[in-house]
């Protein structure tokens, strides 16, 4: 399972309620016009993503995909046909954005109940094999570990998503609170 993760933030003069409404309309249209290899999307309003070039409200969208070939299908479907107008309405109000491609390494891909995340990099000098074994030992219940496959901007290497803050309290990194505004 892969996830295309897109962070964005509205221009300062945009009504936040309207921005969220337009974002939900885009996701609803995409869900009704699902491209091959695309499972569903979840959009969060987030707080704490310090790597973003924004001091105001920000959003994090997760698009779950079968594989990297499905990314091409999603890219085309998101900006053409039935999705073109809803996409353009949100895009015109965005001040900026950045993205990354992540692979699910541990846990379940269901994002609908996730409310907390911690973004971090693997400790220097530790192999990926040893790092992943250490994550297995931590036994993070109700959590999912995602590893970056491709960076399209200033994103972090790993993310643990959880339903509760306590589960990720031992993980060192940038803590982000998530509020679901759409889940398909």
Determine the CATH number of domain 2-183. 3.30.70.100
Domain boundaries, the chain: 2-183
**What are the Cα distances from residue 39, in Å, to 30, 71, 104?**
11, 11, 14
pLDDT at residue 167, as a whole number:
86
Q: Are 117 and 176 in contact (CB under 8 A)?
A: yes
| Non-local CB neighbours of 127 within 8 Å, separated by 6+ positions | none
pLDDT at residue 24, as a whole number:
98
Q: What are phi and psi of 75, to 5 degrees?
A: -55, -45
Neighbours of 137 (CB within 10 A): 7
pLDDT at residue 137, as a whole number:
64
pLDDT at residue 118, as a whole number:
94
Q: Give, in degrees to the nearest 5, the angle at Cα 105 between 76 and 32.
A: 30
pLDDT at residue 53, as a whole number:
82
Looking only at the bridges linking them, the beta strands covering 2-10 and 38-47 are unpaired
Mind listing the pLDDT tens digit of every residue in the chain (184 residues)? 999 999 999 999 999 999 999 999 999 999 999 999 999 999 999 998 888 888 899 999 999 999 999 999 999 999 999 999 999 999 999 999 999 999 999 889 999 999 999 999 998 999 999 988 888 766 676 789 999 997 777 788 999 999 999 888 888 899 999 999 999 8
DSSP one-letter string for 44-88: EEEE--TTSS-SS-EEEEEEEESSHHHHHHHHHHHHSGGGHHHHH
């Amino acid at each position: 399972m892969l996830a295309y993760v897109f962070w964005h933030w509205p221009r300062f003069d945009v009504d936040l309620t309207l921005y969220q409404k337009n974002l939900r309309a885009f996701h609803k249209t995409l869900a009704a016009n699902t491209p091959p290899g695309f499972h569903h999307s979840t959009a969060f309003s987030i707080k704490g993503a310090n790597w973003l070039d924004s001091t105001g409200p920000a959003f994090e969208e997760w698009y779950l995909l079968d594989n990297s070939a499905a990314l091409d299908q999603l890219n085309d479907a998101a900006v053409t046909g039935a999705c073109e107008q809803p996409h353009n309405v949100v895009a015109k109000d965005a001040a900026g954005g950045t993205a990354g491609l992540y692979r699910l390494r541990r846990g379940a891909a269901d994002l609908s109940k996730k409310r907390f995340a911690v973004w971090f990099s693997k400790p220097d000098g530790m192999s990926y094999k040893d790092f992943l074994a250490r994550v297995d030992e931590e036994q993070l219940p109700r959590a999912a570990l995602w590893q970056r496959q491709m960076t399209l901007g200033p994103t972090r290497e790993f993310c643990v998503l959880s339903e509760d803050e306590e589960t990720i309290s031992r993980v060192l990194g940038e803590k982000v609170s998530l509020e679901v505004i759409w889940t398909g």
